[in-house]
């Protein structure tokens, strides 16, 4: 049975308990006034620190002890509990403070953690403190937080409901960010951000788990790799929800010799692959493109040569003042619709031609010249109409040549070969087609 005695002990021999869960004793003004008028009405509880009873440690009554020292009392009434071990001292301090509602939430959390460290379990702490076991468990969770940040949050006005929201955030780093925002206007926004980040992380984990079944390796560089698609939550559910679908996806998406890679992104992962077969085909396609570009260059060169030849003929006709016959003039105007010369692009083409040939604006005063020039501009403005189709000259080009040949134009051997499809520039195309 515990030996309990009551004594008057000098305040100089009593020290506060270093593990007192209540760190802030609050305003002592009223308590000091009461002690000065009435003395200490309730004795303190202390434990001896040595066998000679020269030093004591306060277990219950820290505010009274501090107020007594402040008003200058020499001694205070105490109950000496001689066989109270450290665990019981802590439980007693916690229970006494909690019953008086003297502890803040962060202080309760630290007190519960201290009792857990001394070997107590949740049930025994609940019995000793009068808290429910669920409350004890929640306080223990709060003890894992940064205590400075936790105290600041409550001082800003954070509630226990806010702390419950933070508890549901499973990532410690995100929890810390939410705790730093608790009690502010941005708290709910920070909680939403944390939830989205956690959901995205879970999504990434699911996607990575699936792509490794392809199998795929994570990569930072996509140089030299072929892009194969983007895996989102939708694709994951629709096309990769089980192993058979994963195998079908692999066969449908990648060449048989593919080595597969993935790179994580926001909301999913991008797939890439390398393939000797695909690289070989791409190299062949690139070579074909180069050949086609060279062929196009040659064909264009021939077209330009024909443009220049017809252009010189028309310019010479205009300079010589030679006129069209009424029939040719009418046919040219009807076929080529001279009103398209008003277009900006056509006007610039006309101006460039005139500067090149040293012609003044005066030539445009003659409608016959305008009709004649329209023939050339029409040809120059739409190169595709100059080219033969399947070795056959188009009807429009045929009519065009009738107009200029009626003015004395004679087609060169180059033009004859070009429009018959026998020109040298076409030979590589025919060989490739075979």
> Are 333 and 231 part of one and the same domain?
no
Residue-level pLDDT at 102 = 66
> Are 341 and 428 part of one and the same domain?
yes
> Are 327 and 394 part of one and the same domain?
yes
Residue-level pLDDT at 1 = 36
Residue-level pLDDT at 266 = 81
Q: Which domain holds residue 252?
A: 206-274
> Are 311 and 252 part of one and the same domain?
no
- What's this model's pTM, rounded to 2 decimal places? 0.47
Cβ atoms of 89 and 59 within 8 Å: the answer is yes
Q: Confirm whether 215 is domain-assigned.
A: yes
Q: Confirm whether 236 is domain-assigned.
A: yes
Residue-level pLDDT at 434 = 41
| Integer Cα distance of 21 and 46 in angstroms | 16
> Are 325 and 410 part of one and the same domain?
yes
Longest CA–CA span in the chain (Å) reads 141
Q: Confirm whether 242 is domain-assigned.
A: yes
> Are 10 and 55 part of one and the same domain?
yes
Given 63, 84, 105, which residue is the final one in a domain? 84
Cα torsion at 307, 313, 315, 318 (round to 10°)?
-140
Q: Confirm whether 219 is domain-assigned.
A: yes
Cβ atoms of 225 and 254 within 8 Å: the answer is no
Q: Confirm whether 193 is domain-assigned.
A: no
What residue has token string 């009738």? 402
User: How many domains, in total, are found in the chain?
Assistant: 3
> Are 305 and 249 part of one and the same domain?
no
> Are 314 and 413 part of one and the same domain?
yes
> Are 250 and 303 part of one and the same domain?
no
> Are 416 and 288 part of one and the same domain?
yes
Q: Confirm whether 19 is domain-assigned.
A: yes
Q: Confirm whether 409 is domain-assigned.
A: yes
What residue has token string 């009461």? 34
> Are 260 and 300 part of one and the same domain?
no
> Are 248 and 354 part of one and the same domain?
no
Given 257, 274, 291, which residue is the final one in a domain? 274
Cβ neighbours around 130 below 10 Å, total: 11
Given 22, 54, 84, which residue is the final one in a domain? 84
Helix 187-211 and helix 160-167: axis angle, to 10°?
10
| Integer Cα distance of 298 and 426 in angstroms | 9
| Integer Cα distance of 339 and 347 in angstroms | 11
26: domain CATH number is 3.90.1530.10
**CA-based angle 327:408:325, to the nearest 5?**
20
Q: Confirm whether 94 is domain-assigned.
A: no
Each of the 434 residues of the chain gets a pLDDT tens digit; together they read 344 567 889 999 999 998 888 878 888 899 999 989 888 888 999 999 988 888 999 998 888 999 999 999 999 999 888 888 888 888 788 777 766 656 778 888 888 888 888 788 888 888 877 788 888 888 888 888 888 898 899 889 888 889 889 988 989 899 999 999 999 999 999 999 999 999 888 888 888 888 888 888 999 898 888 998 888 888 888 888 888 888 888 888 888 888 999 998 888 889 999 888 888 888 888 888 888 888 888 888 887 788 778 878 877 777 776 666 666 666 665 655 544 445 555 556 666 666 666 666 555 555 555 556 655 665 555 555 666 666 566 676 777 777 778 778 888 888 888 877 788 887 755 444 44
């Amino acid at each position: 049975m515990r030996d309990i005695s009551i004594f008057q002990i000098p305040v100089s021999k009593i020290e506060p308990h270093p593990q007192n869960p209540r760190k802030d004793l609050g305003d002592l003004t009223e308590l000091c006034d009461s002690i000065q008028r009435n003395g200490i009405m309730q004795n303190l509880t202390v434990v001896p620190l040595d066998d000679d009873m020269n030093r004591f440690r306060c277990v219950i009554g820290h505010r009274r002890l501090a107020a007594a020292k402040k008003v200058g009392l020499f001694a205070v009434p105490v109950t000496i509990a001689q066989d109270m071990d450290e665990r019981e001292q802590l439980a007693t301090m916690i229970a006494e403070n909690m019953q008086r509602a003297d502890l803040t939430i962060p202080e309760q959390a630290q007190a519960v953690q201290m009792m857990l460290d001394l070997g107590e379990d949740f049930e025994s702490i609940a019995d000793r403190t009068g808290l429910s076991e669920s409350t004890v468990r929640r306080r223990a969770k709060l003890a894992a937080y940064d205590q400075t940040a936790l105290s600041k949050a409550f001082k800003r006005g954070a509630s226990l409901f806010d702390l419950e929201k933070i508890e549901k955030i499973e990532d410690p780093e995100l929890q810390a960010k939410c705790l730093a925002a608790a009690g502010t206007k941005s708290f709910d926004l920070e909680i939403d951000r944390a939830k989205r980040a956690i959901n995205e992380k879970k999504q990434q984990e699911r996607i990575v788990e699936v792509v490794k079944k392809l199998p795929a390796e994570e990569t930072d560089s996509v140089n030299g790799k072929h892009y194969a698609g983007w895996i989102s939550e939708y694709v994951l559910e629709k096309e990769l929800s089980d192993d058979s679908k994963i195998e079908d996806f692999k066969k449908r998406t990648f060449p048989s010799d593919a080595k597969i890679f993935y790179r994580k992104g926001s909301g999913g992962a991008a797939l890439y692959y390398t393939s000797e077969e695909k690289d070989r085909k791409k190299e062949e396609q690139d070579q074909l493109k180069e050949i086609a570009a060279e062929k196009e260059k040659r064909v264009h060169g021939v077209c330009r040569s024909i443009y220049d030849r017809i252009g010189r003929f028309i310019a010479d006709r205009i300079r010589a003042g030679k006129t069209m016959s009424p029939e040719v003039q009418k046919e040219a105007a009807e076929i080529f619709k001279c009103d398209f010369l008003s277009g900006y692009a056509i006007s610039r083409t006309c101006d460039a031609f005139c500067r090149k040939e040293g012609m003044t604006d005066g030539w445009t005063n003659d409608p016959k010249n305008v009709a004649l020039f329209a023939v050339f501009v029409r040809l120059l403005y739409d190169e595709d109409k100059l080219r033969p189709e399947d070795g056959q000259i188009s009807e429009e080009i045929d009519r065009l040549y009738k107009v200029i040949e009626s003015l004395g134009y004679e087609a060169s051997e180059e033009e004859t070969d070009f429009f018959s499809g026998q020109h040298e520039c076409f030979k590589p195309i025919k060989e490739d087609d075979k």
